Amino acid sequence: MTTRDGVAGAAALVTEAAADRGCTRRSEATGHADLATRRPMNASDRLRVGSVTKTFTATVVLQLAAEHRLRLDAPVGHYLPGVLPAAPDGGPGPTVRDLLRHTSGLPDHLEAPEWEHPETLRFRHFGPRRLVDRALRLSRPDAGWHYATTNYLLAGLIVRKVTGRSPEEEITRRVIRPLGLRDTYWPGDDPRLRGPHSRSYFLSPGGERVDGTDWNMTFGGVGGALVSTPADLTRFATALAGGRLLPPHQLDAMRRTVPADPDRVWPGARYGLGIITTPLRCGGRWWGHAGTVPGGHRALVAVGPGGRTVALALNQVPDTPRAEEDFLDVVQTALCGDRPSGPAHAHTVEPAPAPPSGPASARTSGFASGPLDGPTSGGSPSAGPAGPFGPAPGPFEGPGTARSLGVTPARSPGAPGRPLTATAERTLP
């Protein structure tokens, strides 16, 4: 992608689970983590993971549901009275499940006019209630499925209500610390990244690269503020898929999906409770999430049907439709093909330690088993497209003829081929 698409740096970590020998990991990187110093890109640096944060948040909400501390089909107003206006149809309004699945019918605060130029807001603090209130002053979306980070800010407020702790603290206590995710943390109001990290870059309206590493991420909150690494995302995703974070009933609820708008995500994608699933060209589907931040970092973690996991890190958002499809094709190649070609480093690591306690210690089957996508309360999904993406010769140099789609940055105003700039990401903060 650095050669073909002009991305500053790209890294991939592919992990193969093996019960008899831990996990075998292979990493590949190209380009530069820091353009000023020419430090090479690598797969161990920290980065902002954007909306991959949503899967962490959804996991904790589902844990609370398993503990009977909240109900997924309870109206949001049951936990947050007076926060949302009366439903247009006079009914009880969106449910907790609707928030996690983006079927609440609520607008996104990132669609407000001021977010057309997010770089002007990059050092400002935003509280979740203020962002929710801003979203509620916008027009409601027409579609039944509408990606909105505001949904997850509301979910975070519900977590605070039922636990008495901040959602960030609860996610740390229940997920980050038990899994030993030592490079995953909440940055709060600090715009700087701690520890080894890649710089990130976005394009100015004039087409020049701008360093966007320093950014106050409170606008994303528990919908998009986490900092992590490909290794930590892999450990989280495999623990979730392996049933170590959720009991079977809640994991199945997470996997019940509805069709996602291809103009907001990508063709063939379906959305569950904080998780995306997409068909693989080799059969089956991958489960995971992607995230983008306006400063330029891009992350994705995906688990394939055989337990192979890929985690991707970019330090510049793909700025053309072809580059966006090349990014998605890396996932297809990593999960369907042989090991990544070119220079790679393989080593064996121990599997992540199981949480000392939790609701799902007996679950081992993962995403690839059990019922596939199906209807759940409030949705009636149809079968997603079966057409897979085309093959690619290598993990960073795949072919592509694509649109820039939703779990990606919003397109700059203008013709379809116009490059993307620092326009606020409307679907993934």
Task: Return the active site residues.
Answer: 51
Q: How far apart are CA 249 and CA 251, in angstroms?
A: 6
Which residues in 266-297 are b (16+ Cβ under 10 Å) and which e?
bbbbbbbbbbbbbbbbeebbbbbbbbbbbbbb
Query: 235 is written with which tokens?
Result: 């450990």
Q: How far apart are CA 290 and CA 310, in angstroms?
A: 12
Identity of the residue numbered 427: T
Q: How far apart are CA 84 and CA 324, in angstroms?
A: 36
Task: Look up residue 233 and give its DSSP letter.
Answer: H
Query: 275 is written with which tokens?
Result: 């998780």
Q: How far apart are CA 346 and CA 342, in angstroms?
A: 12
- How wide is the angle at C-alpha 219 spanned by C-alphas 427 and 207, nearest 5°? 65
Identity of the residue numbered 106: L
Task: Look up residue 95 and give its DSSP letter.
Answer: B
Identity of the residue numbered 330: V
- Kindly compute the dihedral angle of the four CA atoms of residues 166, 169, 171, 173, in this order, to the nearest 10 degrees: -140
Q: How far apart are CA 253 and CA 395, in angstroms?
A: 32
Residue with tokens 């069709």: 259
Identity of the residue numbered 55: T
Q: How far apart are CA 199 and CA 353, in angstroms?
A: 31
